[in-house]
Every structure is written in C-alpha cells, then in structure tokens.
A and B are shown apart, each in its own frame.
Chain A
Amino acid sequence: MVKKDSGITFNLISRQKLEHFSSSDKLKYILSEVKEGRILVLEHGLTPTEQAQLIEHTMKEINHDTFIGIEIGGYENEKVGFFQRVFGVAKKPRMTVIGPAHLLRMVHKDNDMIETTIIPGKGVS
C-alpha cells in the first residue's frame, strides 16, 4: 500500500451497469476496482449469496503487503409484499458501499444511514 497524492476515487455504479453483468463478472469487476484503490457505491447492491462469494473471493486475493481485504456496508434488502412473493418477485438488494479496507472504514450503520470514514494518506499507486 503506497501513499498516493492524487486523491481518492469514488465510483457511483448505476443499477443498469450492474444488471448487465453476470453474478461472477459483477464480483470480478467489483474486486478488481477495489484492489485498484477505488471506492464503489453501488446503486443496486449484492444478494446475500453474492456477498458471501465476494468475501470468499476477497480472502483468496488477500496479499498482506498490498491488499488486506474490503470494507462493505449496505442496507438490508427491500421488503417484498405478500402478492409480490406470490408472483415470485425476489427481495432486491439496496445501495451498498464497498472499498479497500486500508482506505475505507465503516463507522456506523443502521437501517437509515451508513457512516464511513476515509483513512487519510492511503491509496494504491
């Protein structure tokens, strides 16, 4: 992890862009961006299965000198009503923020707010 002077990049990723990916491509994309030192705000988050897979992939990618893992926070899935469940509408994941753990720290999260802080002076060149 090398100090970087050029600031920190936030990418706000639209739901349309994410829907374009297959599940595995989405995870590859997210992890490669985060490893590059970018913080991603996903308009449409990950399903619980995808979150577990992302953690699994992250663990495989950890390199003690360059990448210590991710910080992730998202709102709970949208509640689905009775009739939507009857017609097979699945719970939709909501907005999620993901970043490299050496750069982004989750301060507090509840049902209505995700509070994060950027660790100053860090980044990947």
Chain B
Amino acid sequence: MGLLERFRESKFSKMIHKVFGKNHAKIGIYGPPNVGKTTLANRILRDWTGDIMGSVSEVPHETRRAKWKNNIRIDNGGSSLTMDLVDTPGIATKIDFKEFMNMYGMTKDDSRVRAKEATEGVIEAIRWLDDIDGVVLVMDATQDPFTQVNVTIIGNLEARNLPILIAANKIDAENASPATLKSAFPQHPVIPISALTGYNTENLYTMMVKEFGKKRHKKRR
C-alpha cells in the first residue's frame, strides 16, 4: 500500500474529513421524465461497481418506484466520496394515460396502470427530497430548461441548502445546447454529459466528489 493510500485510510484522514467535510452522502438523481436519470444511474454504477440500477425505455415514466444502491465509492485523485445513490421517478405536473396509447402504442389497460403507478412515483420522488444530502438534477440538453419542474426542484433544494449539480444530458444529440442550460441556471454548476456514451462523466464525478463532499448545514422544511 502506497503512502497516499495509507494516509487516506488513516484515522487522521478520517478526522480531517469529519471536521471539514463529509465523505458519505445520500445523493438523489432527479429530473423530469425521459431525461436519462436511470441511464445516468446505470452509468455511475457500471463505472464504479459493475452493477446497474434499472431498465430504461423511450416511454416516459419507466422508473415508477425509487431505486437505490448503497456504499458506492467514487475516487477522484486524492479525494473520494462514498454515497448511497437514489434513482427517483421523473417528476411531472400532469400524467395522461392517452399519451402512452397514442404515442407509444400501449394498450388502454397497460396505459392506465402505468399512469397510475407514475402518479405514485412522482409523490415518492418528492418525499425523498426530505431524506437526501445532494442532488444530481438531470436535464435534457435538447429541451427548453425553463420548466416548472426544474424550477420547483431547484427551489426546494435551495430552500434546504442542499448542493445541486445539473447534468446537461444528451449532448451526443445534434440539437443539444448545454450553453442554454448554463445561462438558465448560472447559480449552479452545469456539467454537459452523455450518460449514454459516457462522454464527460469523469468531469461529473470530479464535481460530485467536490460538491457533495462539502460540509453543509441542511435545513429542514
């Protein structure tokens, strides 16, 4: 074991972390439906544990129950972050079962069941906000970022003094515009990524260790 490794494992290092920051955090992946939250969760898990979080689909509300994995360790140079990662259902203000039928060819019964489960998923995602230490807010870099869902999530996290990283996802798409997201939310770090191809995820990991490792005083609602 090298000197650096021995230092990281030492009691002294742990004491420094205890005083100046945290190295274990519960991180939620949030965002509207179909922005690539589960694709990103799968990417993180595959990169650091070899596991996956859940299935992905082009049909919105594929993730209808929160899923989580504990003790995922991200290393970044001399720093690290151990986190419990929560993949939350997409938050929406409306759910119309007819969209599943008309746009994705699902049967009426399946569409109704999916819509019902999706409403429960939204409630679950909102309730998880009380129990997390930081959020990776996933936005689709090909879409208008000024949605009320994004604004509501950011407002709630700011009110709780929780750190937010905005992952501007889908930059592999031709019409992606991460610069629009950066100008829309200048108060938070925006990291352009492709969860699908893994492009720039190293930068996201660096920022996760930096931002989620900071010691903060979480405010309760």
Residues of chain A whose beta carbon lies under 8 Å from any beta carbon of chain B: 47-49, 51-52, 55-56, 58-60, 62, 64, 68-74, 76-77, 101-102, 106, 108-110
Q: Is the CB of A70 within 8 A of B156?
A: no
Q: Is the CB of B92 within 8 A of A51?
A: no
Q: Is the CB of B158 within 8 A of A48?
A: yes
- A60 vs B93: C-alpha distance when bound (angstroms): 11
Residues of chain B whose beta carbon lies under 8 Å from any beta carbon of chain A: 91-97, 112, 115-116, 119-120, 122-123, 126-127, 129, 144, 146-149, 151-152, 154-156, 158-159, 184, 221
Show 17 residue pairs from A and B whose CB-CB distance is below 8 angstroms, ordered by the A residue. Answer: A48-B152, A48-B155, A55-B149, A59-B120, A60-B123, A62-B94, A64-B116, A68-B94, A69-B94, A69-B95, A71-B93, A72-B148, A76-B151, A101-B94, A106-B147, A109-B144, A110-B184
- A56 vs B221: C-alpha distance when bound (angstroms): 15
Known contacts A48-B159, A70-B94: A59-B152 contact under CB 8 Å: no
Q: Is the CB of B147 within 8 A of A109?
A: yes
- A80 vs B147: C-alpha distance when bound (angstroms): 23
In the complex, what residues of B have CB within 8 A of residue A69's CB? 92-96
CB of A77 to closest CB in B, whole Å? 7
Q: Is the CB of A64 within 8 A of B112?
A: yes
